[in-house]
A and B are shown apart, each in its own frame.
Chain A
Amino acid sequence: MTPFLLGLIGLCLAYPAPQLLGHASWPYQAPRAAILLWQSLAVAAILATLGAGLATALWLVTAGNLTTIKVLAHFAVLLLTAVVAVRLAWSLVTVARETRKRRHRQRTVVDLLATRDGAAPGLRILEEQTPVAFCLPDRAHARVILTRGALECLGADELTAVLEHEHAHVHRRHDLVLEGSIILHRAFPRVRSTDSALRQSQILVELLADDAAHKATGATPLARALVTLSAGPIPQGSLGAGNATALRLARLESSAGEHCGMAALAYALAATVLIGPTLGLAVPWIIGAWRILNPS
């Protein structure tokens, strides 16, 4: 029974649950909790899938008489399980390496081209007219970069809002949240839910950073900065990415902070998907498996 139930839970967590969450709008009312929920879903789906594979493999060779077909199926299931694990591990290693390498290169270039600005440590001004603001997150050597054009078209309050937003990204390591979603997406690109997880996580971390800026400057400077800095040229291929900026403005307009009810619901769901299958199925199965493998 355990292999079947774990498999079912794995499937539910990998497909319908993320689809539902990805199309829901309530996560935007509780971004912090929603991020945690996405991460719990991912971890729980992985654990359930790996657990289902191991449980099935063990069941095939321990229940009833051994037949050639069952032994072959045993190895096939083990192999499939190993493929899932290896894909994840491989994705983790390559994404982490690529991200560090690209970020390191970009930081080197920033440090060569951009000038320091006394306004904030880690702030660099790039002599370019196109108004752009971005950050290169890092544990120790983060950079916040504004172009000269951005600096010139932002008022003092608006600049503060942008800097608060970027510092929130940097200090709270939002990039790690995104990296987790990217790892999952890269490991299983054809599982559509990994794409909705990534897209929604990208918006959710922006909302979190907006909350920090909102707290520091109020809604209007942040809204004005958003409008000013999104008016630049649209690079090729980025159309159809969905307009997160409109969503961020709408949230500022309704001036809704974290919705406590929604947050509580998301935390409860996160705990359920993580702890439920583990305590209910995995732990009893591990104890059972231990007994089977150590009959003394």
Chain B
Amino acid sequence: MRPLGDLEREVMNRLWDADGPLSVRDVLELMDSHDLAYTTVMTVLDRLSRKDLVTRTRQGRAFLYSPAHGRDALTSELMNAALDSAGADRTAALVHFTENVSPQEAAAMREALERIAAKDNDAA
């Protein structure tokens, strides 16, 4: 049994790489492993649509699925959140390693780094 998260990843990738909306059957055929059950893929797609990551349209008796956001759009959503150190995201949802600084500050910081490295060298 593969973790559900990995399956969601693969299904999303198939949808992103596809030219248009896919049915459950289409996705199942594109998956790497061939021993997946139809219902498993359906469950994964259902979960993804509940998370607002895929949209579902009815065509005849079947549903067709397509990504709600492009891969690039999701990436930039994440990068914006990660780079926004003091702006809109005033929650502690995400904690940065460091914030970005102006070139002047960066120069001063590089000098501090040299001094730290020199001190560490002396000590060694």
- Residues of chain A at the chain B interface (Cβ within 8 Å): 95, 98-99, 102-103, 106, 108-113, 126-128, 130, 132-137, 145, 147, 162, 165-166, 169, 174-176, 178-179, 182, 185-186, 205, 218-220, 223-227, 229-239, 241, 243-246, 248-250, 252-253, 255
Partner of A179, one of B89, B92, B102, B119: B92
Question: 13 extra interchain contacts, Cβ-Cβ under 8 A, other than A102-B91, A220-B120, A230-B98?
Answer: A102-B94, A128-B79, A133-B98, A134-B82, A134-B95, A135-B94, A178-B92, A223-B113, A231-B100, A231-B101, A232-B100, A237-B84, A246-B105
A229→B98 contact, CB < 8 A: yes
B95→A175 contact, CB < 8 A: yes
A106→B85 contact, CB < 8 A: no
B101 and chain A: residue at smallest CB distance: A230
Name the 7 nearest CB pairs between A and B, nearest first: A241-B86, A178-B92, A133-B97, A103-B93, A102-B93, A175-B92, A99-B91
A108→B51 contact, CB < 8 A: yes
Give chain B residues whose Cβ lies under 8 Å from the Cβ of A225: 97
Given A132-B82, A134-B95, A255-B119, A245 contacting B77 (CB threshold 8 A)? no
A102 vs B98: C-alpha distance when bound (angstroms):
20
Q: Provide a sorted-by-A list of 12 A–B residue pairs whose CB atoms are within 8 angstroms.
A: A109-B77, A112-B8, A136-B93, A145-B82, A179-B92, A223-B116, A232-B100, A237-B84, A237-B87, A238-B100, A253-B115, A253-B119
A245 vs B96: C-alpha distance when bound (angstroms):
11
A109 vs B119: C-alpha distance when bound (angstroms):
42
How far in angstroms is the closest Cβ of chain A from B7?
11
For B89, B100, B102, which residue has the most chain A Cβ atoms within 10 angstroms? B100
- Chain A-chain B contacts (Cβ-Cβ < 8 Å), number: 177
- Residues of chain B at the chain A interface (Cβ within 8 Å): 5, 8-9, 12, 51, 53, 71, 74-75, 77-102, 105-106, 108-110, 112-113, 115-117, 119-120
Partner of A230, one of B71, B88, B99: B99
B117→A220 contact, CB < 8 A: yes
Given A102-B91, A232-B83, A246-B112, A238 contacting B78 (CB threshold 8 A)? no
Give chain B residues whose Cβ lies under 8 Å from the Cβ of A253: 112, 115-116, 119
A235→B78 contact, CB < 8 A: no
How far in angstroms is the closest Cβ of chain A from B103?
9
A227→B79 contact, CB < 8 A: no
A134 vs B97: C-alpha distance when bound (angstroms):
5
B109→A230 contact, CB < 8 A: yes
How far in angstroms is the closest Cβ of chain B from A205?
8
B93→A112 contact, CB < 8 A: no
Give chain B residues whose Cβ lies under 8 Å from the Cβ of A227: 106, 109-110, 113
A223→B117 contact, CB < 8 A: yes
A103→B94 contact, CB < 8 A: yes
B79→A245 contact, CB < 8 A: no
Give chain B residues whose Cβ lies under 8 Å from the Cβ of A135: 94-95, 97
B78→A111 contact, CB < 8 A: no
Give chain A residues whose Cβ lies under 8 Å from the Cβ of B120: 218-220
For A95, A103, A110, A234, which residue has the most chain B Cβ atoms within 10 angstroms? A234
How far in angstroms is the closest Cβ of chain A from B113?
5
A135 vs B81: C-alpha distance when bound (angstroms):
11
Give chain A residues whose Cβ lies under 8 Å from the Cβ of B91: 95, 98-99, 102-103, 179, 182
A243 vs B112: C-alpha distance when bound (angstroms):
14
A238 vs B82: C-alpha distance when bound (angstroms):
12
Give chain B residues whose Cβ lies under 8 Å from the Cβ of A133: 96-98
